[in-house]
Amino acid sequence: MRDYLLTLCVTAAVTYLLTGPVRKFAIATGAMPEIRARDVHREPTPRLGGIAMFFGLCAGLLVADNLQNLNGVFELSNEPRALLSGAALIWLIGVLDDKFEIDALIKLGAQMIAAGVMVMQGLTILWIPVPGIGMVSLTSWQGTLLTVALVVITINAVNFVDGLDGLAAGMVCIAATAFFLYTYRLWYGYGIEAAAPATLFAVILMGMCVGFLPHNMHPARIFMGDSGSMLIGLVLSAGAISVTGQVDLDVLKVFEGSGRAATHAALPVFIPLLLPLTIIAIPFADLVLAVVRRAWNGQSPFAADRGHLHHRLLEIGHSHSRSVLIMYFWSALIAFGVVLYSVHSASMWILPVVVVLSAVGLVLLLLPRFTPRAPLWAQAFVPPRYRRRKRAAAEPDGSHEEIVPEPVPEPLGAQGMAAERTPVPAGVNGATALGARSRFSDRRKADSRR
């Protein structure tokens, strides 16, 4: 575990430290387009954040290759090289798109080529578990077709959800964390060496997202762009393909007694990993709804609009930060719920817990006007809008104090700024004081005319 933590820290540190210079580079090269109709930010923001994330990926792979407990992944498998080749290709296309706005069909073709490059180097689905049958081997063209489809769908699901500050990086980080817990259990719990590459991919993906998030949280100083969203989507799909199509469940016979029993024991999580759309269920649902909506309106499936799930959260009254947190909540509930069920599939308490948490999520969706307030002990760790302040009560001695929400500061116009500079007598509200100052100003003007 220490080697994985070191790889995670190095990947996050490299990504974090390079994001600042990349932001200056993006501004210098003009990679900060004007505000579009579908955008939610209010001022042009540089893109190309995927450059820092790609070098974080390279740093993570380099460190792992030089660690004693992880370099066996590079010696016994060609999957890390396959991942790096496909990632470099998709990253290059993303950088060009962030700068020059490449056509959607060209990007789709590049995604398929990147998936094909990984398949040619051995990162492909060889077999899948089927209920009641066991492991079913795939032919070469079946494995290639399924692998390419999985990569393209995952990349576009992540790309479609990248619409709010910190949303895509946070959701992928949640999915990668859940994925890491599952693959780490396969690798060190059951001793399945074929799960080692997927475990490494997951921890590197976590580092890439963690290192980029501080720069991308609302209000974002830089966007990851297509160079980042397509990159993390490809890394996530590569890990899912590796563990789903490369791990042989026959090794679980020792623990379960038979191949069929082993397949049934692993199905609660192998089917979601075969279709990683369950791990990233929210982005996938957004992708499906977007394609159906645009096709129904006679538009291209790649035409941008403001009908995504995060846009709808904003429309019903949620703030930017709260919309992101709600999406985080649902992603974590689905991802960790699936992984937990794979570990304790026979436990009866998992389903009630998931139902209760789902009800909590629905309540949060239905209360867009509710402003949560942090407790007193957490005042120093939350933004000002979530803090409370003390106000003396009406008692003469002022001994009793009441905790009231701290008001959110609003932007002041020219008149408001003048009113703020002028002291207001105690017991006079703002409107009365402003009217008094206005009448006093008119009286002075009349006296000057005389």
For residue 105, is it within any domain? yes
Which residues span the domain enclosing 238? 2-283
For residue 329, is it within any domain? no
| pLDDT score of 337 | 79
| pLDDT score of 295 | 74
SS3 of residue 6 by DSSP = helix
159 is in an annotated binding site: yes
For residue 436, is it within any domain? no
Dihedral Cα 370, 371, 376, 382, nearest 10 deg = 140
- CA distances 174 to 222, 331, 333, Å, are 21, 7, 10
250 is in an annotated binding site: no
| pLDDT score of 212 | 95
| pLDDT score of 240 | 85
Confidence (pTM): 0.73
Grouped pLDDT means (10 residues each) for the chain, 450 residues: 92 96 92 64 80 96 92 89 95 92 90 94 82 74 91 87 83 89 81 85 95 89 92 92 70 52 52 53 70 73 62 66 81 80 67 79 66 69 62 46 45 39 44 46 50
For residue 303, is it within any domain? no
| Other CB atoms within 10 A of residue 15 CB | 30
| pLDDT score of 419 | 40
For residue 299, is it within any domain? no
Q: How far apart are CA 329 and CA 171, in angstroms?
A: 9
Yes or no: say if 99 and 220 are a contact pair by the CB < 8 Å rule.
no
Both tokens of 370, joined, read: 């509710």
Q: How far apart are CA 273 and CA 243, in angstroms?
A: 8
- CA distances 278 to 273, 288, 302, 338, Å, are 8, 13, 22, 8
For residue 140, is it within any domain? yes
Residue 135 backbone dihedrals phi, psi, to 5 degrees: -80, 130
Q: What residues pair up with 86 in beta bridges, in sequence order? A: none
Q: How far apart are CA 337 and CA 334, in angstroms?
A: 5
| pLDDT score of 251 | 57
| pLDDT score of 379 | 72
Classify burial at 386, counting beta carbons within 10 Å of its beta carbon; exposed 0-12, middle 13-18, buried 19 or more. Answer: middle
What is the tally of structural domains in the chain? 1
| Other CB atoms within 10 A of residue 147 CB | 24
Burial of 231-245, coded b for 16+ CB within 10 Å and e otherwise, reads bbbbbbbbbbbbbbb
